[in-house]
Chain A
């Protein structure tokens, strides 16, 4: 669960100031600086957490209690698994294989790479997915002599859509799953159906928009067909080890509830197991070198951002701000589940298109939890969690700054000489994001309301 018991600590703020106001100011200040992007977000979140403790909203013990170590372990474990697995070249293999299955037709490749990105993204972090797919995409489009822009934009969408389908696909889902105890299977059963529909609609739109107009010469297509995907596999032994451990981890996620295991334990155990296999038989010096490099690939900025953010949000929660906001939100929606679900879905989508969805979701989780009494207990909140997930994950497609994966791809595109600009992207992306939210609204209405 996201937070432990809160009874032990009572805020004791400097100069007797009102904890609610002080915590709110620290939260808003932290958010404001994160939004400006003038300062690294990990630094800002850790500073915000430090201020929460310094001013007495939290003490150190309470702050540490606020950190969701299940989320931290899940993120870190998956990062380690991907860091090792990517070395064997399996992701490149699949991307090239899919391009060749499309007979190297640009329209077919556009479609196939979206599908591959969406599937990868359901099981990997979105940024990692585009880091793996975008370079291969650039190689393929260069060989075909077609502009990479449509492919890269479509991959941004696929990464954010695919990531919505599972517990581990996108950080907001990891946060929600960990805070609520919802399982990997719960996410798949409740979100995957609508994600598949949204992805199919997205494939159609991108085909009509760009795919049908893409053409490449027979000679250029033959060059892509001459790619030897088997050569992309650089380490067959590591491939077998990685796929074996990944299969075990996914099986672990699916069986987590009967096994009474948290996703963080499963991911971290899988990471340790793959490191063991990868280093087995190597000298102590080689092992130290390998483990050092593997752990260096963990995105520590993200991890420390989460740590700081958990503390800031816990400070706000402990000060009673979120309970206060939840009561007012309930009053605003009249305690009507339908209105609340739709409000959360759309507000999450619009806000996530503009601001980082991670701090937003981290704040919304305790706020929604506080609504439980109005909706008949924790089970009554289930539609709200799915609305939050769909809104926060899909909303990231709305603008270029809506999700980290968008900025990662934009960085590649810029260096490739085909920059993705904010406004041209938004002209296509925002309406498409709204289409995905309309589909989500219909889905929520039909299934839960």
Chain B
């Protein structure tokens, strides 16, 4: 059994130029934690994720120094929202995760499940040329492996 058996079609695919505001709406309506981003040739550039959006709501220092603590900051929801709005017009290309792990249809299930166990809820499935073929999600993996779907 390999990723081919648990792969599904992505509910939505973002392009590099999709504005972050629109990408956020699409991501939320997909009910996934990340969506793949492709270039005009369909090659997978990376993933646009809720994790990325969380990072943009925080002071940038957090994304620079991992162990920085922000317990002393009292920013309101309005301020966090204003940070999101400030990048709403940017193309997702500027905010995607490029080093997101990818799998191929032939990747073993164990390897894919391990990646998801380590925190990735959605994995892009690509061919040998990095062309996006679909996605694997924690939901599809558990459902199909357990035989509940």
A231 vs B75: C-alpha distance when bound (angstroms): 14
On whether the beta carbons of A228 and B60 are closer than 8 Å, the reply is no
Identify the closest chain A residue to B61 (Cβ). Answer: A138
Residues of chain B within 8 A of A416, CB atoms compared = 60-61, 64
B93 CB to closest chain A CB (Å) equals 16
User: Which of A201-229 touch B at CB < 8 Å?
Assistant: 223, 226-229
Q: Smallest CB–CB gap between A96 and chain B, Å?
A: 6
Which one of B26-34, B65-73, B132-140, B141-149 contacts A?
B65-73
Across the interface, B74 reaches (CB within 8 A) one of A131, A142, A227, A234, namely: A227
Are the C-beta atoms of A228 and B61 separated by less than 8 Å?
no
Hey, which chain A residues are within 8 Å of B74, CB to CB? Answer: 223, 226-228
Contact assessment for A232 and B60 in the assembled complex, using a CB-CB cutoff below 8 Å: no
Within 96-146 of A, Cβ neighbours of B (below 8 Å) are at 96, 131, 134-136, 138-139, 142-143
CA–CA, A96 and B69, complex, Å? 12
Asked if A92 is at the interface of the complex by the 8 Å CB criterion, the answer is yes
Which chain B residue shows the least CB distance to A225?
A: B74
**Does the CB pair B69–A234 fall under 8 Å?**
yes
A271 to B65, CA, bound (A): 25
Whether A138 lies near B72 (C-beta < 8 A) is no
Number of interface residues of B (CB under 8 A): 15
Give A160 to B79 CA distance when docked, in angstroms.
36
A135 pairs with B72, CB closer than 8 A: no
Known: A139-B59, A227-B74, A417-B60. A412 touches B65 (CB 8 A): yes
Q: Is the CB of A231 within 8 A of B79?
A: no
Of the candidates B59, B69, B71, the one whose C-beta lies within 8 Å of that of A143 is B59
Q: In chain A, what residue has the closest Cβ to B75?
A: A223
Contact B59 A229 (CB under 8 A): no
Q: Hey, which chain A residues are within 8 Å of B75, CB to CB?
A: 143, 223
Tell me the dominant secondary structure on chain A's binding face. helix
Q: Closest A residue to B70 by CB, please name it.
A: A139
Q: Does A66 contact B (CB under 8 A)?
A: no
Residues of B within 8 A of A139 (CB): 59, 61, 68, 70, 73
**How distant is A315 from chain B, measured CB to nearest CB, in Å?**
39
Are B71 and A231 in contact (CB-based, < 8 A)? yes
Residue among B63, B64, B70 with most chain A CB within 10 A: B64
Which residues of B, 37-94, contact A by the 8 Å Cβ criterion?
59-61, 63-65, 68-75, 79
Shortest distance in angstroms between B84's beta carbon and chain A's nearest beta carbon?
A: 15
A415 CB–B CB distance under 8 Å? yes
List chain B residues, Cβ under 8 A from A136. 61, 68
Complex Cα spacing A8 to B40, Å:
73
Q: Which residues of B contact A226 (CB under 8 A)?
A: 74
Tell whether A89 is near chain B: CB-to-CB under 8 Å: yes
A141-193 CB contacts (< 8 Å) to partner B: 142-143
Q: Which residues of A contact B79 (CB under 8 A)?
A: 223
Chain B residue nearest to A229 (CB atoms) is B72
Question: Considering only CB atoms, which chain A residue lies closest to B65 in the complex?
Answer: A135
Contact of A234 among B64, B71, B73 (CB under 8 A): B71
Interface readout for B76-120 with A: 1 if CB under 8 Å, 0 if not?
000100000000000000000000000000000000000000000
Distance of A416 Cα from B63 Cα, bound (Å): 9
CB distance from B32 to the nearest CB of A (A): 28
Min CB distance B83 to A, Å, is 9
How far is B59's CA from A234's CA once the two chains are assembled, in angstroms? 19
Contact residues in B for A223 (Cβ distance below 8 Å): 74-75, 79
Q: Is the CB of A135 within 8 A of B64?
A: yes
Contact B60–A227 (Cβ < 8 Å): no
Shortest Cβ distance from B83 into A: residue: A142
Q: How far is the CA of A193 from the CA of B72 in the complex (A)?
A: 35
Which of A96, A142, A234 touches B60 (beta carbons < 8 Å)?
Answer: A142
Closest Cβ neighbor of A89 among chain B residues: B69
| A227: chain B residues within 8 A (beta carbon) | 72-74
| B residues less than 8 Å from A131 (CB atoms) | 65
A-B contact pairs, 14 of them (CB 8 A): A89-B69, A92-B69, A96-B72, A131-B65, A135-B68, A136-B61, A138-B60, A139-B73, A142-B59, A142-B61, A143-B73, A223-B79, A232-B69, A232-B72
User: Which 3 residue pairs across A and B have the least CB separation, nearest first?
Assistant: A138-B61, A135-B65, A135-B68
Q: Knowing that A92-B72, A138-B61, A138-B64 are A-B contacts, what are 17 other residue pairs whose CB atoms are under 8 Å apart, sorted by A's residue number? A: A89-B71, A92-B69, A135-B61, A136-B61, A136-B68, A138-B59, A138-B65, A139-B59, A139-B73, A142-B61, A143-B59, A227-B74, A228-B72, A412-B64, A415-B63, A415-B64, A416-B61
